[in-house]
Structure 1
Amino acid sequence: MKLLRYGQPGKERPALLDKDGGIRDLSEFIDDVSGPALSPERIATLKALDPASLPLVDGTPRIGPCVAQVGKFICIGLNYADHAAETGADIPKEPIIFNKWTSAIVGPNDNVEIPRNSKKTDWEVELGVVIGKGGRYIDEANAMEHVVGYCVINDVSEREFQIERGGTWDKGKGCDTFGPMGPWLVTKDEIADPHQLNLWLEVDGKRYQNGSTRTMIFQIPKLVSYLSQFMSLQPGDVISTGTPPGVGLGIKPEPVFLRAGQRMRLGIEGLGEQEQLTVDA
């Protein structure tokens, strides 16, 4: 099942995507695609619906972020062996954790703003993992029971803010619009193996990232279990699991960074595509 949200910012409505690509409104059954609707029991109820019985949405509405009211937007750094190599970093011994502020979240095709005084805004296609069942101190063997599904995330990053301005990575990661999410939340039953997915990103038609989740250092069960040792995970929390090689920072001989007026296009096998125009903040 592919869950989504459509409509203008702040006024999105819940929906699912039918087999023909039509948007079917779910407002009669759930308030939003958010924590309370993502429990195993609620997902089972939604799966039992006949999509053809739901109202078909006319036209081509804006698609909003696929998860609403995200409590925590947790990110994992340097989680692909080939990406760590391109940055010259050592393979982490434990997952590197940082945060994107929830105010960074936008729809998959909304504009991405280049922050004021930015010199090094960069891109990162990532697999998003959405929590459906909360918990603490989760065993790795049971971790996938807590995952409801997956989505595409562009972990947009300002490298000077992140690396050169002191402190933690967070201030270069959480700028407004730095978290395009969607187009849909794909329930985990539709993805046979999330560690065998191709993912890619282009800027102005040039392919920069072309990787696979096969090269993840810490896989999803490990990440869910690990994070739950330090915080409770709650329904609707989103984990962005790292990026493959090809980020602008790693390009040789000179890094390449974004400027206003460019188009990013990115996607993950089975999870859909995004496209954003960059604009000045």
Structure 2
Amino acid sequence: MTSLDAQSNFVFPPPPTLGVPVATSAANFPVRRIFCVGRNYADHAREMGAEVDREAPFYFTKPAEAVALSGTTIAYPPGTQDCHYEGEFVVALGGSAFQVSADEAMGCVFGYAAGIDLTRRDLQGAAKAKGRPWDLGKAFENSALIATIAPVSDFGAIGEQTLTTRVNGEVRQQARLSDMVWSVPELIAHLSRYYHLKPGDLLYTGTPAGVGAVKPDDKLSVKIEGLDELDIAIGEAE
């Protein structure tokens, strides 16, 4: 396959690289791919009528174009009557990893951010009922919301930090990062069995209980201790 960096003669201009602001820096983090972990908090799995698969984590993906930055207003997503918020801890990779152990996994991490995985729950539910992939429910524009990324050195070790999601100022989700079923090193190590993880990859690590629907004019926020707050407004549907 021809490298994009080595080839400049395209039939149309390639899309620009999407970047996420980095705390204490003028630089942006270039987004490559987005991996999302399903059912990584036992209480959320139960509220969705499922049990955690403790044999191995599972994932779904979103396109880079799903990224929407903190401080923006996004349109209510098309094709749904039941869009849900899911507050999450996001891991940003700054190095490569392939078939690494959990002990080696953190060497590829650049930093962390607060995020929201927006989900078209009605479309996801219809796909589940038919045993089909979740793409329409999960992988759409403005569905991977993210705040400023803090470098690892500014955040410290992952542990008892609290994740709090608010809708219009009301607390809807609250959990500790230590409540995750699969830890960040375990997730990276497991993913690296199947992918050559690269700088620019984002990992949304799952959501705790308390997910719910959003509507136009709602204000969403996610605060994780030690990280900048994520603030997003929901506008009218296009």
TM class by smaller structure: 0.7 to 0.9
**TM-score, normalisation: structure 1:** 0.72
Please report the RMSD computed on the Cα atoms of aligned residues, expressed in angstroms: 2.0
Aligned pair count reads 218
Other-structure match for 1:91:
52
In 2, distance between residues paired with 1:199 and 1:168?
Answer: 28
Flag the 1:237–1:14 CA change in 2: closer, same or farther, 3 A.
Answer: closer
In 1, distance between residues paired with 2:135 and 2:33?
Answer: 13
**Correspondence 1:125-144 to 2 at 5 A:** 125-144=87-106
**Correspondence 1:1-281 to 2 at 5 A:** 17-18=23-24, 26=26, 32-33=27-28, 67-68=29-30, 70-92=31-53, 93-165=55-127, 166=130, 167-182=132-147, 184-248=148-212, 257-279=213-235, 280-281=237-238
CA contact 2:18–2:65 (8 Å) conserved in 1:
no
Cα deviation, residue 199, structure 1 = 0.5
In 2, distance between residues paired with 1:224 and 1:193?
Answer: 16
In 2, distance between residues paired with 1:209 and 1:270?
Answer: 17
Cα deviation, residue 192, structure 1 = 2.9
Question: Which residue type is aligned with residue 118 of structure 1?
Answer: T
**Which sits farther off after the overlay, 71-80 or 157-166?**
157-166
CA contact 1:83–1:245 (8 Å) conserved in 2:
yes
Question: Which residue type is aligned with residue 264 of structure 1?
Answer: L
CA contact 1:128–1:238 (8 Å) conserved in 2:
yes
CA contact 1:195–1:219 (8 Å) conserved in 2:
no
Question: Which residue type is aligned with residue 172 of structure 2?
Answer: Y
CA contact 2:88–2:115 (8 Å) conserved in 1:
yes
3-state secondary structure, aligned to 2:229: strand
Per-residue Cα deviation, 1:20-65 (whole angstroms, up to 9, x for no partner): xxxx6x4xxxxx53xxxxxxxxxxxxxxxxxxxxxxxxxxxxxxxx
Other-structure match for 1:49:
none
**TM-score, normalisation: structure 2:** 0.85
Cα deviation, residue 181, structure 1 = 1.2
Other-structure match for 1:58:
none
CA contact 2:23–2:151 (8 Å) conserved in 1:
no
Cα deviation, residue 193, structure 1 = 2.3
In 2, distance between residues paired with 1:16 and 1:221?
Answer: 22
3-state secondary structure, aligned to 2:159: coil
In 1, distance between residues paired with 2:37 and 2:201?
Answer: 14
3-state secondary structure, aligned to 1:119: coil
Cα deviation, residue 98, structure 1 = 0.3
Structure 2's unaligned 5+ residue stretches are 1-15
Cα deviation, residue 17, structure 1 = 4.5
In 2, distance between residues paired with 1:82 and 1:130?
Answer: 25
Cα deviation, residue 170, structure 1 = 2.4
3-state secondary structure, aligned to 2:173: strand
In 2, distance between residues paired with 1:13 and 1:104?
Answer: 12
In 2, distance between residues paired with 1:137 and 1:276?
Answer: 36
3-state secondary structure, aligned to 1:272: coil
Alignment identity in percent? Answer: 27
3-state secondary structure, aligned to 1:190: helix
CA contact 2:84–2:211 (8 Å) conserved in 1:
yes
Cα deviation, residue 87, structure 1 = 1.8
